[in-house]
Amino acid sequence: MIVVGVTKAISELFGKGGIADRMIWFSGMPFLDSKEDHNFGVPVSAVMRTSVVSMPAHGLTLGEVQSLLADDRYQGFPVVEDKHTKVLVGYIGSTELRYAIDKMSRTSPLSETAKCTFAPSSANLSSTSLNNIHGDSSHSSTLDFSRYVDATPVTAHPRLPLETVMELFQKIGPRVILIEYHGKLTGLVTVKDCLKYQFKVEAAENPKDDHRIEEGQEQLWALFQRAGNWFSGRVSRYSGGRIRLTSTSGGERPLGRGQILDGDEEVLDEGVELESRR
C-alpha cells in the first residue's frame, strides 16, 4: 500500500493519467481523451491544413496516381471536380486505391497512360471506356475508381468551433475531416492537427519551469535519503548492530565490534603474511 500511495503521489505531481495513458502520449499515437474538456475559442480554420493534395475527378493518368501513392505521407485524397473550382466530390483512401489498382491488374495488364476517373462518367463517354476495366488495357482509355470513392465524407464548415470538430473525431472516428465552404474544398484537419494545437495552447498556458522541477526533484530525493537513513538506523538498532544497511549519506562508517563486514572496508594490515618464506 505504501508503494501504491507513493507511486500515485508522484504520478499526480509530475504528470496526469495512468501508465497506459502516458505510454499512448509517449509513443506519439493520435489519441483524443474523451474525459478532457476543452474550450479553445477558435474555429477549425485556425488548425486546418490549407495546402491539400487533391485528385481531380477526371484527367489523371495511372502513372500520376501511382506517383501520389508512392508518397507515404498521404492517407487519402479528396476528390474534386477540377483543380480550379475545387468543388468537393468525395474522398478516397490510399488503402482502397491501392486495392483497386491491384484488383484491376490481376484481370489484365494496366497501362500507365490510362486515364483514371473518380466520379460517375458523364453520358458523352463511350461505352467502351465504361467497361474497360474488364478488357485489355491496350484498347481502353479510362479506369473507373468511382465505386471506391466515399461520396459522403465527414465535412465541416471553416467557422465550426474546434471543440466540436474534436468531438466528431471522438464519436465518429474518421481518419480526416474535410473543410468545405459553399461546396468547395478549403482544407482538411486530422487528429494530429488537433493534438498539435492542444499541446501548443497548454504549453503557452503552463510554461515549463525547469528550475522549479529540478528543485522539486532534489527535495524528493532528499526525502528518500532521510527515510532510508531512518530505516537503516532502526534495523541496526533492533539487530544490535549485527545487521547494517548501506548508508545513503555517503559518509564513512566506523567499524564497531560485532558488526558484519560487507567487503568494502579498509582494514589495517595486522601483519598476517600470505606468502610463505623460504
pLDDT in tens, 159-212: 999 999 988 988 888 889 999 999 999 999 998 888 888 878 877 776 665 566
Domain-located, residue 134: yes
137-156 pLDDT, tens digit per residue, is 444 578 999 999 999 999 99
Structural domain including 149 reads: 44-204
Report d(CA 174, CA 169) in Å as an integer.
6
Model pTM score: 0.60
Cα angle for residues 90, 117, 67 (degrees, 5° grid): 90
Query: What count of other Cβ atoms lies within 10 Å of the Cβ of residue 31?
Result: 14
Burial 76-96 (b: 16+ CB within 10 A, else e): bbbbbbeeeebebbbbbbbeb
HSE-up (13 A, CA, CB side) for residue 134: 4
Asked if residue 78 lies in contact with residue 91, where contact means CB atoms within 8 angstroms, the answer is yes
Asked if residue 251 is part of any domain, the answer here is no
- CATH number for the domain spanning 151: value is 3.10.580.10
On whether both 18 and 133 belong to a single domain, the answer is no
* Domains of the chain: total: 2
> What is the predicted pLDDT for the residue at 88?
95
**Residue 267 in domain:** no
